[in-house]
Amino acid sequence: MGQNTINVTDSNFESAVVKSSVPVLVDFWAPWCGPCVAIAPTLEQLAEEFKGKVTIAKMNVDENANTPSQFGVRSIPYLVIMKNGKVVDSAVGAVPKAKLVDMLTKAL
């Protein structure tokens, strides 16, 4: 877990993500998932670059079952951008940083 990302769980997802005043990129991940680990430094960079404008949240799918199932998460990393409690964009896999920047910029 980086210093700029937040850890979300089934219990705080509503308050940390759904009710957030800024767009939130949620990274559904697991420690055993190679691409999830590979994309983590990119998410840290984005959290720094978009500080104050976007929140980057990470949810470990092994420790939280309810939220991933609500989002139909089948493959990880699964990245969802939420704004005003609604999904505005999503991507599966270790997508390039440029694509994530584009997705976040659109959500602002």
33 noted as active-site residue: yes
Residues paired with residue 108 on neighbouring β-strands, in sequence order: none
Active site residue: 33, 94, 95, 101, which one? 33
Both structure tokens of 29: 């991940």
Beta-strand (E) ranges in 15-85? 24-29, 55-60, 78-83
Helices (H), 9-89: 13, 34-49, 66-70
Rounded Cα distance, 53 and 39, in Å = 20
Catalytic (active site) residue 23: no
Which one is catalytic: 6, 17, 26, 36? 36
For residue 59, give the nearest of 23, 101, 12, 3 by alpha carbon: 12
Catalytic residues: 33, 36
